Structures are given as C-alpha cells and as structure tokens.
Structure 1
C-alpha cells in the first residue's frame, strides 16, 4: 500500500545536502539546469515494479525515460523484458543502437519515411511491432513497399476505457471498443499478405495514470478509486471476450496492459502476458499519491538562485519546464529541496526566471541550487542533453539523453 505522506521535510533537506555535496565534489561548476537521476531510488523502484508484476515481465515505457542508459539499466533488471516505444523512428533507432530487439510501438504511425525504413530491413521488421486500430494503418504500410516480402508485425490497440451510462471514461485512444470491431480488424490483418498479427494492447489510463490517494482531495480520490474498481472489473470481462474471439483466428505472442499505477491489478488478469511501466522508475510528482505503491522520487533538476528581490523571496534562473496534458497547477515543476518553498501565483514557473517564496526562501543565497521535481516522467529530458547519475553521495556518470544523442522523436 502506498504512503499518503511521502518524504518528510527532513528527508527533503537531507536530499538537498546530498545533491549539493555531490555537485560540489565534481570540482568544476556544472551547467544549469543540472539534471540528476538517483540510481539507488531508480533501482529500488525497478525491483518494486517487478515484485508488483508477480512473475509477469515488465516492458519498459521509453516515453517515461528518454535516456538510453536508463532504458538499458531498467532492462538489466531481472523481470524486465522489451521496450514500449512511443515513435517508430525511436524504435528503429533503439534497434539500430542495439538497445533492444523487442520493441513495441505503443501508438499507430503514419510516418511513411520510417515505415519505408522498417519494410526495407528484415532485422528491424523482426524486432519491431507496430500498433494499429484501423485498416487505414495497414494501407499506409502497403503504400511504401513494392512487395510484402518482409512481414510486418502488428498488434491491436483495444480500447480499455470504462463504459458507463453511455459515457466513455479513460484515454481517447482506440475505436476498437467491442469484440466485433476487434475481430473485424484482426481478420483484415490475418488475411492481408505481408502482415503478422502478434499481439494486443489494452491501456487502462483511467486506472494506471490517475492519482487515487491525494490527502488534499479525499472525496475525489475515493471517487477515482471507485472508477478504478469498476474499470478493472469491466475490462477483465472485455479482455476475456476479445481474447477468446482472437484465439479462433491466431495465437498471439503477447497481450500488453497496464502502467506504473496499476501493475498489480493488470498482472492479475490471466489474459495479460506482460505489463508496461516507465513513470514508476523515476516517480514524477503526478505519481506521488497512489495507494498501490510507495513513491521513491528519483529524478531532479537543479536551478541556481540568481536574485533576492526581497528577504523572503529567492528567484532562480529558468524553471518553466511544465508537463503536457490539461493545463493546471499540477503540471508545473515542484520546488522540492530544500523543503518549504513554493511557486508564486503571479509568475508560476517562468521560462527565464522563477521566484520562490515560503519559509526556506529567506535562508537561500545567490548561487545556491534549488532542486525541483518534474510533473511527468521523461518529458523533462527533452530540455537536457546530459543527465548525471547519482549513486550514494557521488555523481558517478554523465549520460546523454535522446537529445544529447541528436535525436528528437
């Protein structure tokens, strides 16, 4: 059961000293923002995800990491197997770099250039699985190849939303909402030359990706837990019905489901053969308040104080690293260490400066580092080329992000 409290103010202040000391030991100033991943917490989170999966393999969601060395670090843990990518070009690059020979692209693609590369490479086509939910996705593949000599692996993205009172609750992903629509597309795949139907995916985002134990929102959290329980029960029936129908057409290699917030519930479904997880490795702030696991934050970025406009205000340089999704305060970065800092209502997290107030602001001096946590995992590394890896009290390595490798997906 996850904690409702998380790290204490004392824990956060100790973290502040630990991170500052590790940076100081480098002997030379590090460019800011300084991006750090605590590998001790990362490894503990990886082991916890495997434990929660109860023997089913965990496929690492690269979208939530975007650092090749961290993807490899996750895959090195016993119990992790394969990558869930978010872009075909990313999948091709991961295969080319030798990072994984088992990559499922989680979203349909119409990138004809990338598809042309895929069908021209037997090794890539054997390692990468495309996601489809419409015949049009197959047509795009066929439009870039002269002959179906290289079979393309595909999986079906089956809707996993909660259907209640005529309403759909959950991510707006796939039009495959019932057995008949799934079977119709499956027949098209099986009957079309040059394609192999190898898997299925059901991503229950309304279960895996929504906080359900927020202390300041107990009523809403209770409602969300009810929605999750209804979703899990309804989805178990839908998965079984779809799986039974697909079994009359082909034998699937895998059925992917879940996310960091629903590993136990998803793994408990006998239809599911593997679970996906990524955010649970770095634990951004949007994953702080879950009943299903104890958060161990592992990712931070440090910004220097450059101004003291008032005794009780400290202004850091930069900071406007907001997360995607519906705009709101929960998408802003959180000043984390030292404890006792908060954003201002007028400026929030600014692109070039971020003023901070709160009890700790008066003690900060120009040149001090303030450490933030991002709201969503992986996205923050779109703003970085290098991430420093922390082990114990030492920065032991500096590794490139996708951007640092010259890749933008």
Structure 2
C-alpha cells in the first residue's frame, strides 16, 4: 500500500475539518494493511500486540479481532488487570517486572484474573516481593514469565542492547527456572526475550551511511549468536517447566524472530501506527497510519509558517530522531535552532509559503503509542469520516504517571 500524500491530506482534512487542533488521527486503511503485513511476516506464528504502542482499547480490540493476532503484551500490571476486566482480552503478558503492591493484591484475590495475567520476573527478589504482599497459601498460583536477556556481548565489557534482564546465559536461565519451579504459589508459564538491538534499531538511518553499515554489521553478527543462545536457554528452562509460550521480537524483527524455531509467538505494536522511526528500516517500512495536526498561527517570514504547539518529543536518547516529523504538506522542516517547541514551532521550506493562519500541518510522531499521551481521543479515519475513540489518557488511565 503506497501512500499518496496529496490524497491522504485531502482525506484527513475533509474528515476532521469540523474539529479543533491539536488532534490526532489514525487512518484505518493503513492500520489494517499494516496488521495484515505483520501477520504475513510472522509466517503462521501468532502475534501478541504490544499495548504500549497502541494505547487505545478500540484499536486493541480491532487488531485482536484479526486472524493471526492473539493476546496482549501490557506494560504495567494495573493496565493488564484493566484490559482483562474490561473484556479486551483474557491473555495478558506484562512486559516488565512489577512492584505495584495494590495491583498484586488485586491479582491474587481473583483466580480468573490470575489465570489471565502473566507477570515478568528475572530475579529471585521479584517473587519474594509477591510472597510478601500475599503469601502463597492465601492466593491462586501467579503465572510467571522468565525474561531472558537478548543483548549481544561480543567481547569483554562490550555490551550491545538494552539493559533489561540479568539472565544472559542458558545456565542462568535454567538455574532461575529451577528455583521458580520449586516455589509454591507460582507457575512458570512462559519465557521471553526482546532483541532491542535488532527489532528496535533501524539499519538505514538517513544521511548516516557509515552508521548504517556499522548497524548492519552488528545485527548480522548479533542475530546468529542470539538464536543459538536463546535455543539453549529454552531447552534449559523446559527441563524445569512446561512452557506455554516463548515470546520474542518486535515490529522491526517480526520476520527474523518468527523464523527462530525456539520462538512460539512474536510481539508487534509500533508497526500498526507506522511512526517516523521506522522510516530508517530496510527490512520493512509500515504505512504511516497515525498523525497529529497543529494549526498555523503565525507567518513571521515568507518561507516560515509557525504552528501552535509541536513539542511532542519521543522518549529515548536526546537526538534529532526523537522529534516529530512534519509530514503534510510535504517539504517542511524544523528551524535548526528552535526545533519542536512546546508552545510554538516554526517550520521552514517551500511548502511554508503556501500556508496561512488557520491551515493545518500534519505530523508523525517518532514513536507509536506515546502520541496518545498528548490527546484524549484518536479520530479513526474511515474514508472521509472520522469517529472518535478514547485513548488510555482519555479514559483516565495514565499508567506511567
């Protein structure tokens, strides 16, 4: 599905003309096409949708209704409980360990809820905390998933990847699995590993040819090492637990991760929205599906148009790639010494000459779900019609504060 920017702008403008800015929109045709392409790339393995990248119950339900998608990867335990209780899913894997005592008490108080939610562990102190909150004699078994570190450690202190789990070797995974399997009140149901240095790092950063070559070299070495080490770890864990699932990957590695025989399911979420960071991937570039619009309010110079707001910056390292991308009309760029401002954002370029106060500029966020922390609802665009759907924020659910 190729994006005709002129036609897209016309559809977005017509569908939302009656609404004030700032507003955020998701093009359902692009969203559905991205979902289908991810399913094809998964090659028959189920995809668990990463809710952090969507943050809208309506869209979570939409993708879960499609063939090939099954279960949710949530980012906090309170969110997981909410998604189960609201009927979005009965299968939630919490991607990060929790220290939320209130949520743990709620999980342990309901056998059906405990059967639907799997919490993450990578250290003995985490199940210790759960036992302190609710003793194993006073609760149903808590489902656990062992987080296996996917980072690449080529030599000595060199470390490539994100700092997640301390469990890096097959021997460490087997030892933790043995300890968890022997503890009352728990069931080791799954194992996961997230290869962030492969799934989350684009290998074609614009204007950075040397960096691109280095990233491709790193990924070509790191992936085979991970496949062998992960397979050994899965074997070691299965000696102590009858695993229901082995999860891996992200949008940027769905095809490569699905090809790993040790993996039973993959995770994806960002690819549904197609944020700007994925423009730097060679393997697959999703359709741009999520946008936000800001209004032009100033014309300080002939080739400058200033919009109100704009500082919707993504998390991560403080660099240019974390800025939103001006997308429609085509041919706009930030003023180098101002960037995306909280209150106003000057935009340069030939397209700026045609913009007048009251016109709109459509942006793409650098990441996916973080867009939803700025708005209470998404406008779901079907043809030339917009239907509002509340975001997590719009439902009063700011799970990370």
Q: TM-score range by the shorter chain?
A: over 0.9
Q: Establish whether residue 398 from structure 1 lines up as the match of residue 398 from structure 2.
A: no
Q: Displacement, 1:185?
A: 1.3
**Is this contact kept in 2: 1:16–1:337, CA < 8 A?**
yes
SS at match of 1:306: strand
CA distance in 2, matches of 1:183, 1:218: 41
Q: Equivalent residue of 1:239, what SS?
A: helix
Query: Who is 1:381 aligned against?
Result: 372
Are the aligned partners of 1:39 and 1:389 in contact in 2 as well (CA < 8 Å)?
Answer: yes
- Say whether the 8 Å CA contact 1:286–1:375 is kept in structure 2: yes
TM-score of the pair, normalised by structure 2: 0.97
Does 159-168 or 43-52 show the bigger shift? 159-168
Corresponding residue for residue 205 of structure 2? 214
- Equivalents in 1 of 2:139, 2:365: separation in Å? 45
Is 1:157–2:147 an aligned residue pair?
yes
Structure 2 gap ranges (5+):
none
1:21 aligns with 2:14: yes
Distance (Å, rounded) in 1 between the aligned partners of 2:57 and 2:286: 23
Q: Which among 120, 123, 142 is matched to residue 134 of structure 1?
A: 123
Residue 157 of structure 2 corresponds to residue 186 of structure 1: no
Q: Secondary structure at the match of 1:164?
A: coil
SS in structure 2 at match of 1:256: strand
Partner of 1:326: 317
1:280 to 256, 265, 271: 271
1:23-172 matches, within 5 Å, as 23-24=16-17, 28=18, 30-146=19-135, 147-166=137-156, 167-172=158-163
Give the structure-1-normalised TM-score.
0.95
CA deviations 1:252-288 (Å, max 9, x no partner) are 0000000001011100011000000001110101111
Cα deviation, residue 222, structure 1: 2.0
Partners of 2:279 and 2:382 in 1: CA distance: 22
Q: Superposition pairs for residues 201-350 of structure 1, below 5 Å?
A: 201-350=192-341
Alignment size in residue pairs: 397
Cα distance between partner residues in 1 of 2:142 and 2:269: 26
After superposition, the C-alpha distances for 1:319-358 in whole angstroms (9 at most, x for unaligned) are: 1100000001110111110001111112111111111111
- The answer as to whether partners of 2:379 and 2:389 remain within 8 angstroms in 1 is yes
Shift of residue 289, structure 1, vs aligned partner: 2.2
SS for the counterpart of 2:263 is coil
Moved more, 338-347 or 139-148: 139-148
Deviation of the 1:394 alpha carbon:
2.2
Report the 3-state secondary structure (helix = DSSP H, G, I; strand = E; otherwise coil) of the residue aligned with 1:143: helix
Would you say the 8 A contact 2:170–2:230 is kept in 1?
no
2 CA distance for matches of 1:123 and 1:205?
Answer: 33
> For 2:6 and 2:363, how far apart are their aligned partners in 1?
13
Q: Give the C-alpha shift of residue 213 in structure 1.
A: 2.2
Shift in Å at residue 148 of structure 1? 4.5
Contact 1:36 1:300 in 2 (8 A): yes
Distance 1:293 1:124 in 2: 37
In structure 1, the gaps of 5 or more residues are none
Instruction: Return the alpha-carbon distance in structure 1 between the equivalents of residues 376 and 280 of structure 2.
Output: 30
229-238 or 100-109, larger mean C-alpha shift: 229-238
Moved segments of 4+, more than 3 Å: none
Aligned mates of 1:149, 1:361 — CA distance in 2: 62
